[in-house]
């Protein structure tokens, strides 16, 4: 059984009189810590206050399809629970499981509330008010910040995906018309008495042409189209300028069309050239559809990587992959005035971390940099090895931060943005993820035209010890 000397050695109880400690002991009970045994479950009503006298507990939360260790209670005086003493909706925020043998003091939340009201009535009122205020802020501010960021990214992605998707739809519609024209040209060729030998010669000429290319000089292209169009017009070919544009785009010239005329029936030149032009159009449109769908697929893959779908929350992380997917997802925010410079180190190791949370950090840092430059400037993202850490640096050419702003940049709800444009949560969240969740550091170096935010992440990050 726990006795007074056991609690007197716990720093948490410094300042309590012996009679108060005796009341606390009388109100509570001793609970042994058994390795592997669950002491309380995440989401259950927090009806008790648990204090470590000695021993170790791991705290874990259920994220996706796995349990993630988020903290450790391994120091005498660390405590958890008792939220329902001041919050009727209070639940355990994590599941506690024994690691090394020890003992806990377990006090019912209701009894703890009574003792606090008796010993420290003013402090008890302050705690109750703090819980109400904190719950209100926790329920609104982060949600608003998340919704604002999500809305911005969703709008940008919708625009980004819409362009190649619309191009694919447009090319598919044009492809249908080009195929109809191709079949019509084949019917005309058959009607003109084209022989198998002549068709073979025309097909060999067609294969001499390359996929549609863009000539380096638009004036040269126009001159060649005009020259070829006049030749076709003199030869009695219908729609000469339309055919000239398709043929020239694939490299045809007067010598080529002269040979094509020699391989065609007397009245079949128009059908022969129409067939070649339609095959060129079909190849060009297929290339456009292929490129558009590739771009959509690339965006979807980037979003999947960014959101870390179907991946464990804690794993070896390639920070370059996370930064690349972040830049892809934020692409609409970076154009047209922002030049992105990537400086990826060649020997950057994987870090032990949570890629989904690190992507939140990269998003906040990049978004702040773009805001600081007002959408025009150079964004430089650098990664390199720095001893036993990986250094990630996000630099911008904006106006910079004053010393006063730098000192307060990581404070919750502090923002220099206009009303409606910021919540003051971005850098605070980034700082907590880097420092508390990954055991790293986040620093600011700023002067006009050169602001750098440096994130250092240990290759082997210690697990968070926050309860």
- Spatial separation of the C-alpha atoms in residues 338 and 312, rounded to whole Å: 33
**Dihedral pair phi/psi, residue 309, rounded to 5°:** -65, 140
pLDDT of 446: 92
Please report where in the chains the tokens 């959408």 appear, as a residue. 375
Helix (H), strand (E) at residue 235:
none
pLDDT of 467: 39
- Spatial separation of the C-alpha atoms in residues 394 and 338, rounded to whole Å: 14
pLDDT of 141: 47
- Which residue from 384, 381, 324, 325 is spatially nearest to 351, judged by alpha carbons? 384
pLDDT of 82: 66
Q: DSSP character for 187? A: H
Preceding amide of 336 cis, omega within 30: yes
Averaged pLDDT, groups of 10, the chain, 467 residues long: 86 88 91 94 87 93 74 89 66 90 92 83 55 48 52 65 82 88 89 89 88 63 87 88 85 88 86 89 87 80 59 77 86 83 91 86 89 91 94 94 85 60 65 87 93 92 46
- Spatial separation of the C-alpha atoms in residues 344 and 383, rounded to whole Å: 5
Is the pTM value of this prediction over 0.85?
Answer: no
DSSP 211-222: SP---S-HHHHH
Find out whether 33 and 56 touch, Cβ atoms under 8 Å: yes
Helix (H), strand (E) at residue 426:
helix 426-432
Structural domains of the chain, with CATH: 4-119 (2.60.120.10), 162-297 (no CATH), 312-458 (3.30.565.10)
**Dihedral pair phi/psi, residue 462, rounded to 5°:** -70, 145
pLDDT of 319: 92
**Dihedral pair phi/psi, residue 441, rounded to 5°:** -140, 155
DSSP 329-357: HTHHHHTTTEEEEEEE-TTPPPEEE-HHH
State the chain's maximal CA–CA distance in angstroms.
118
Please report where in the chains the tokens 């989904």 appear, as a residue. 356
For residue 226, how many other CB atoms are within 10 A of its CB?
13
pLDDT of 90: 74
pLDDT of 343: 94
Give CA 106 to chain center in angstroms.
43
DSSP 82-145: -GGGT-TT-B-SSEEEEEEEEEEEEEEHHHHHHHHHHH-HHHHHHHHHHHHHHHHHHHHHHHHH
- Spatial separation of the C-alpha atoms in residues 275 and 285, rounded to whole Å: 15
- Spatial separation of the C-alpha atoms in residues 83 and 94, rounded to whole Å: 13
Taking only Cα atoms into account, the Rg of the chain, rounded to an integer number of angstroms, comes to 35
CA angle 211-214-216, nearest 5°?
Answer: 140
- Spatial separation of the C-alpha atoms in residues 164 and 231, rounded to whole Å: 37
Could you report how far apart the first and last alpha carbons of the chain are, in Å? 26
Q: DSSP character for 20? A: H
């Amino acid at each position: 059984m726990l006795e007074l000397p056991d609690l007197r050695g716990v720093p948490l109880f410094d300042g309590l009189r012996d009679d108060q400690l005796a009341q606390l002991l009388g109100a509570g009970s001793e609970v042994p810590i058994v390795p592997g045994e669950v002491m309380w479950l995440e989401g259950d009503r927090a009806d008790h206050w648990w204090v470590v006298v000695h021993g170790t507990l791991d705290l874990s939360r259920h994220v996706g399809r796995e349990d993630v260790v988020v903290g450790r209670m391994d120091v005498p005086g660390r405590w958890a629970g008792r939220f329902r003493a001041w919050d009727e909706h209070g639940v355990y925020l994590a599941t506690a499981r024994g690691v090394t043998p020890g003992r806990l003091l377990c006090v019912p939340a209701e009894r703890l509330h009574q003792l606090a009201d008796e010993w420290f009535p003013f402090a008890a009122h302050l705690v109750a008010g703090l819980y109400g205020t904190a719950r209100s802020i926790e329920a609104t501010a982060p949600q608003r910040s998340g919704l604002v960021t999500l809305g911005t990214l969703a709008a940008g992605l919708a625009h980004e995906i819409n362009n190649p998707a619309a191009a694919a739809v447009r090319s598919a519609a044009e492809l249908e018309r080009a195929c109809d024209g191709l079949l019509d040209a084949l019917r005309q060729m058959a009607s003109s008495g084209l022989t198998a030998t002549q068709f073979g010669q025309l097909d060999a000429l067609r294969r001499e042409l390359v996929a549609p290319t863009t000539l380096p000089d638009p004036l040269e292209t126009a001159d060649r189209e005009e020259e070829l169009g006049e030749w076709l017009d003199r030869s009695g070919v219908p729609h000469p300028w339309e055919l000239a544009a398709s043929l020239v785009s694939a490299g045809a010239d007067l010598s080529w069309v002269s040979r094509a005329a020699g391989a065609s029936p007397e009245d079949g030149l128009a059908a022969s050239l129409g067939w070649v032009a339609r095959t060129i159009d079909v190849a060009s449109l297929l290339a456009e559809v292929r490129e558009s769908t590739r771009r959509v697929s690339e965006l979807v893959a980037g979003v999947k990587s960014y959101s870390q779908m179907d991946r464990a929350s804690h794993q070896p992380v390639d920070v370059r992959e996370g930064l690349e997917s972040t830049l892809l997802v934020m692409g609409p925010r970076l154009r047209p005035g922002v030049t992105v410079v990537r400086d990826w180190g060649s020997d950057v190791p994987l870090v032990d971390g949570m890629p989904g949370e690190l992507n939140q950090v990269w998003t906040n840092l990049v978004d702040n940099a773009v805001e600081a430059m007002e959408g025009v400037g150079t964004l430089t993202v650098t990664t390199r090895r720095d001893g036993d850490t990986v250094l990630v640096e996000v630099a911008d050419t904006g106006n910079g931060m004053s010393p006063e702003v730098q000192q307060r940049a990581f404070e919750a709800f502090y923002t220099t943005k206009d009303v409606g444009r910021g919540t003051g949560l971005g850098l605070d969240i980034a700082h907590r993820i880097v420092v508390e969740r990954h055991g790293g550091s986040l620093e600011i170096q700023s002067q006009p035209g050169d602001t750098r935010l440096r994130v250092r992440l240990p290759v082997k990050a210690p697990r968070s010890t926050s309860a």
